[in-house]
Amino acid sequence: MSERRRNEKEEEKREKEDEKRSEKVWDEKWRHNPVRAITLAVILIWGGIVAIIQAANLVTASWWEGWSVFLTGTGVILLIKAAVRLKPEYRRPIGGTIIIGIILLGVGLGHLLGWNYVWPVILIAIGVIIIARAFSRKH
C-alpha cells in the first residue's frame, strides 16, 4: 500500500514538473519570437476592425467586401512580417511567409479588382521567389 502511494506521489510530482516545463517552453517561445506574437495580434485586430466596419455598414463603396479586404490586409501584414524578419535580431526563414502573404494579398485583390490580372501576377511572384531561393540556398 505504501509503495502504491509513493508511486502516486511521484507521478503527481512528475506531472507538475512537466506542466511547469510546458508553461516555460510556451512562455519562452513567445518571448524569444515577438514578431510571431505581434503578427498574430495585428491580424486579429485587423479582423476585428474589418468586422466592425462590415457590421456597421460604415463603408458603402461598391468595392468593399469584408473578406476580401481582410485577406488583402492579412497578406500585407505577412509581407511586413517577412520584411521585419530581414533584421538580424529577428532573422528566420521567410520564403513561406512571403508566399502565403502574396497568395492572401492576391486572393483579396482578386475579389476586389478581378482575377484576370491578379492571378498571373501571383504566379509570377511565387515563381520569382522560388528561383531566388534556389540560388540563395547555402549548400
Whether the model pTM is above 0.85: no
User: Residue 41: its pLDDT value, please?
Assistant: 94
Same domain, 14 and 54: no
pLDDT tens for each residue of 49-82: 999 998 998 888 777 888 899 999 999 999 999 9
Looking at the structure, tell me whether residues 37 and 26 fall in a common domain: no
Within this chain, do residues 66 and 125 fall inside the same structural domain, yes or no? yes
Instruction: Measure the CA–CA gap between 66 and 86, rounded to whole angstroms.
Output: 31
**Domain tally, the chain:** 2
Same domain membership, residue 75 and residue 22: no
Q: Hey, what's the cell of 68? A: 476580401
Same structural domain, 75 and 113: yes
Structural domain boundaries enclosing 48: 33-136
Tell me the chain's radius of gyration from C-alpha atoms. 23
Pair 54, 27 in one domain:
no
Query: Do residues 132 and 92 share a domain?
Result: yes
Residues 69 and 109 in one domain: yes
Tens digit of each residue's pLDDT (9 = 90 or more) over 85-99: 888 888 888 888 988
Q: What is the pLDDT of residues 109-139, one digit of tens each?
A: 888 888 888 888 888 988 888 888 788 766 4
Judge contact between 97 and 88, C-beta under 8 A.
no
Q: Which three cell numbers stand for residue 122?
A: 501571383
